[in-house]
Amino acid sequence: MTATATRVACPALFISAPASGQGKTTLTAGLARLHRRAGRRVRVFKTGPDFLDPMILERASGAPVLSLDLWMVGEAGCRALLAQAAQEADLILIEGVMGLFDGTPSSADLAATFGVPVAAAISAKSMAQTFGAIAFGLARFRADVPFHGVLANHVGSPRHAQMLQEALPADIRWLGHVASDAAFALPERHLGLHRADEIGDLDARIDRAADALEATALAALPPAVEFALPCNDTDADADSARTPRLLDGRHIAVARDAAFSFIYPANLALLETMGARLSFFSPLADEAAPADADAVYLPGGYPELHAATLAANARSAQSLRAHVAAQRPLVAECGGLLYLLDTLTTTDGACTPMLGLLPGAAVMQKRFAALGMQRLDSARHGTVTGHTFHYSRVSTPLAAELHARHAQTGAAGEPVYRHGAIVATYMHAYWPSNPAFAAALFHGTAL
């Protein structure tokens, strides 16, 4: 493909379903592994603001998994990511979120915008001919959504699969079936799937899913889709040159382990594109934040599952307290916010001391406390998009410096707290939506 081309083509498929819990992630991971085993370069994307599914999909495909969302990433951002992938890969897979038509914007909106054909995975557990009605609805509900076909998941027997196939209208493509098999099911807990590195036999599970899909029509390459390049110049270095180097020379230390792992790969890539040098440390392993770090980033994750260990790890705690005492910026999101507080109480009533760098306490809930897309409107830097999803509630005497707003309703969302050198919030911001805002966070300047 020459540098002056305006479109690039690549086989692409959108894996969706009528609802959550149909097996989208398992099937997408299995399909990625199947094609990777065939020697193809596979790039996988996840629809919406997800951290856990991409970890599984990255293991399956061998490449980072980025988010696609028409609101959070933006249409232009999604187009650029897809076009770049089309130039590098032999196959693009996109895993949807929830049901095909759920949300605003939905998976269907994304598929229609870029013309990616949809393969619907339908769990056939406790179902027979109604499978055909659900497939009919998915295929016909919107004429602008390119529909590739349906795959039956959680099928009980060959006779069951035959009944399902016979129930389909003649013009809806049958892509095959996959039997129920605990051997490749993915374990879940609150917030979603387990982290990839917590599933000891994950690769074996993905391989078994790939084996199951090998006999289906999904094993064949899907149709090629043309993706418009964002500009005539396709040189990645030119893209980097267009992003201001607002963090040139700054060293940012990022907490990354089983307690702090909810990180958009695009966020880290942006920091590096803006000139930052990144290093990583593990509070869970009691590693100190680098003493020469200009700023620290504490992302979200599962501190509540590791509260006692974090509370006992003095070396890491002391380094973070020294960093804040030196008035160097510390940016915390969601789980990172919880770690900074005075205490964290889990659902069993255990109250554990945390860092005490941010006044307040968090209490875990048995049901989620907030969920949805949100945006921050900064008077200095404009709007940054993101999302929130958490099972805890925080009480603090601090007043919010900013308040996020819900994407669709404009209702008040997550507060953003500033306390000395600390900026902390529940909201997971998608920094490529506003590089200047991200740079201000890590310079410790006004938002």
Cα separation of 259 and 333, whole Å?
Answer: 12
List alpha helices for 220-342, DSSP H: 236-242, 265-273, 307-312, 314-325, 335-340
Cα separation of 127 and 109, whole Å?
Answer: 28
Contact at 8 Å (CB) between 195 and 57?
no
Q: Return the closest-CA partner of residue 16 out of 142, 129, 182.
A: 142
Cα separation of 294 and 439, whole Å?
Answer: 12
- Tell me the HSE value of 187 on the side-chain side, using a 13 A CA sphere: 10
Active site residues: 334
Cα separation of 87 and 393, whole Å?
Answer: 44
Contact at 8 Å (CB) between 25 and 167?
no
CB-based contacts of 437: which residues, under 8 Å, 6+ apart?
A: 376, 378, 381, 382, 384, 429, 431, 447
The secondary element (H helix, E strand) that includes residue 293 is none
Enter the tokens of residue 7: 């479109």
Cα separation of 215 and 203, whole Å?
Answer: 20
Q: How many CB atoms lie within 10 A of CB 377?
A: 12
Cα separation of 25 and 185, whole Å?
Answer: 10
Contact at 8 Å (CB) between 425 and 390?
no
Enter the tokens of residue 134: 């659900």
Q: Return the closest-CA partner of residue 332 out of 255, 404, 403.
A: 255
Contact at 8 Å (CB) between 270 and 438?
yes
